[in-house]
Chain A
Amino acid sequence: MKNIVVIGGGIAGVEVACMMAETGNRVTIIERDNKLGGKLNNWYCLFPDFKKSDEILNYIKNRISKFNIEVKLNSNVEKAERNGNTWLVHTENAICKADAVIIATGYQLFDATRKEELGYKIYDNVITQADMEQRFREGNFLTSYGKKPERIAIVHCVGSRDEKCHNMYCSKVCCVTGVKQAIEINKFLPDAQIFCFYMDLRMYDKFFEELYRTAQEQHNIQFIRGRVSEVSETPDQHLSIKTEDTLSGRPMKMKLDMVILLAGMETKKNTKEIADKFGVDREISGFLKSKDFHIGAGILTQKGVFAAGTCIAPMSIKETIENARSTAFQVNEYLKTL
């Protein structure tokens, strides 16, 4: 029986841990938070089918309960050392021996205050998609002035595809998150006008394009092709945005009650530290470097260290689960060689 340490107890971490336990390994999860589930705990529902996040959380809870997996909550990796083919992973109060380590530390949301011109944390009615998910959970849609919003803008590509934030890559799931949230808002506030400001709409996966069409056809969401360059507040308690409607070739101004920024996915500071502790390489983007892009995304550049989920690249929940399963397969292949 081999020992496996999984760092991170989000969707990827739990899925990969269960797969490893299911194939006969002794698994320990090190999670720095006080519960499993990661960012999904704060999410309301998922694209493209509006499945409640809680259903996925219940799935992982049920799944992990079937195995004898040791979960260390409120624990951080302090040090890692390799002794031959064995890794010693030090947490605050324990040392875990591992034949393979799987990093599943996830992502962090781009800090939207870095795009100062978009007014996040300057104007109360500028929020991120993560804040919006929290509001869906609470059923709170009022502006900071206690008003029901009549006009809402969803701004795509905040902190993604932006050299000014040193993030050249596309976070890829924000596009469809924006479309999903637009539809969801329309369900709660049928009278509100909703506008999505995009550079490109990347509806890359199954049902995404259909969701986009549904947004236009049944929810009257307006899609405007233009990058928002400034958000400001007007004296009459509205927000004003500046963009170009690039398809008609004219600058556009609009008064709004609420602006939702689709902040991109970034590598966690924590992931960088863990990568350094294990001596694994990272891409220029900050995400963990896979040994091969095509065959074995979960295999990292250090022997016995693997990765699963969004610490490799931006992914949807579905892709995260698939990726975690594929990584588990690769880890088992590796364990056979020991």
Chain B
Amino acid sequence: MDFGFAPIETRSIDIDIFDSRILKYVIKYEPSLLVCLSCGGCTATCSAGNLTDFNVRRMQLMLRRGETENLQTEINKCMLCGKCLLVCPRGVNLRNVVMLIKKALVIYKNQEK
């Protein structure tokens, strides 16, 4: 029966089905990620972010919320220039975070959740 509408996937972040494997891996090797306060200084100064829709702050937020589906495409936009770590008031090494996500994606690519 067609009601003219259908249930769609919820937009809410579901912490219960959080895939934290990549996050745990990144934090293990780059614990500075824990102290990010989402000020956006990194994104403001980001070389790639001024030319593309890359948002390095949002990328780390996606990671922290376990939303890992788009991470691969996101990190490929990063030019690894390191300006983000120069401006970060909390000393987060975001460039290393990007590198670690790359590694983690390879490690967990074919593993079950």
Interface residues of B toward A: which range? 20 to 34
Q: A226-B39, A226-B40, A229-B45 are in contact. Are A161 and B89 (CB under 8 A)?
A: yes
Of A119-127, A213-221, A242-250, A269-277, the segment with at least 4 beta carbons within 8 Å of chain B is A242-250
Q: What B residues does A162 contact at CB under 8 A? A: 89
A227 in complex: contacting residue of B41, B46, B55, B91, CB < 8 Å: B41
Q: What A residues does B42 contact at CB under 8 A? A: 229, 244
A246 in complex: contacting residue of B39, B45, B46, B91, CB < 8 Å: B39
Select from chain A the residue with minimum beta-carbon distance to B37.
A199
Q: What A residues does B43 contact at CB under 8 A? A: 244, 246, 251
Q: What A residues does B45 contact at CB under 8 A? A: 229-230, 242
22 contacts between A and B (CB under 8 A): A117-B87, A162-B89, A163-B88, A164-B88, A164-B91, A200-B37, A226-B44, A227-B39, A227-B87, A228-B44, A229-B41, A229-B44, A229-B45, A242-B44, A243-B40, A243-B44, A246-B40, A246-B57, A249-B57, A249-B58, A251-B43, A251-B46
**Residue pair A246, B38 in contact (C-beta under 8 Å):** yes
**Residue pair B89, A244 in contact (C-beta under 8 Å):** no
**Residue pair B40, A164 in contact (C-beta under 8 Å):** no
Known: A163-B89, A251-B44. 7 other contacts (CB 8 A): A157-B89, A163-B91, A225-B40, A226-B41, A228-B41, A246-B40, A246-B43
Q: What B residues does A243 contact at CB under 8 A? A: 40-41, 44
Q: A244-B57, A251-B49 are in contact. Are A227 and B90 (CB under 8 A)?
A: no
Q: Smallest distance from the beta carbon of A202 to chain B beta carbons, Å? A: 13
A200 to B40, CA, bound (A): 12
Listed residue (A163, A228, A245, A251) with the most chain B CB atoms within 10 angstroms of its CB: A251
Listed residue (B44, B50, B58) with the most chain A CB atoms within 10 angstroms of its CB: B44
Q: What A residues does B88 contact at CB under 8 A? A: 163-164
Select from chain B the residue with minimum beta-carbon distance to A244.
B40
Question: Is the C-beta of A252 less than 8 angstroms from some C-beta in chain B?
Answer: yes
Q: What B residues does A164 contact at CB under 8 A? A: 87-89, 91
Q: What B residues does A163 contact at CB under 8 A? A: 88-91
Q: Smallest distance from the beta carbon of A216 to chain B beta carbons, Å? A: 21
**Residue pair A244, B44 in contact (C-beta under 8 Å):** yes
Select from chain A the residue with minimum beta-carbon distance to B32.
A163
Interface of B is mostly: loop
A21 to B108, CA, bound (A): 72
Q: How many A-B residue pairs have CB under 8 A?
A: 66
Which residues between 1 and 60 of chain B lie within 8 Å of chain A, taking CB atoms? Answer: 37-46, 49-50, 55, 57-58
**Residue pair B58, A227 in contact (C-beta under 8 Å):** no
Q: What B residues does A117 contact at CB under 8 A? A: 87
A164 to B55, CA, bound (A): 22
**Residue pair A251, B89 in contact (C-beta under 8 Å):** no
Q: What B residues does A199 contact at CB under 8 A? A: 37, 39, 89
Mark B80-113 against chain A: 1 for CB-CB distance below 8 A, else 0.
0000000111110000000000000000000000
Mark A229-270 against chain B: 1 for CB-CB distance below 8 A, else 0.
110000000000011111001111000000000000000000
Q: Which 9 A-B pairs have the closest CB atoms?
A: A244-B40, A227-B39, A244-B43, A246-B40, A227-B41, A229-B44, A229-B45, A162-B89, A163-B91
Q: What B residues does A249 contact at CB under 8 A? A: 55, 57-58
**Residue pair A229, B37 in contact (C-beta under 8 Å):** no
Q: A161-B89, A227-B89 are in contact. Are A251 and B41 (CB under 8 A)?
A: no
Q: What A residues does B41 contact at CB under 8 A? A: 226-229, 243-244
Select from chain B the residue with minimum beta-carbon distance to A228.
B44
Q: What B residues does A226 contact at CB under 8 A? A: 39-41, 44
Q: Smallest distance from the beta carbon of A213 to chain B beta carbons, Å? A: 23
A229 to B40, CA, bound (A): 9
Listed residue (A157, A225, A229, A230) with the most chain B CB atoms within 10 angstroms of its CB: A229
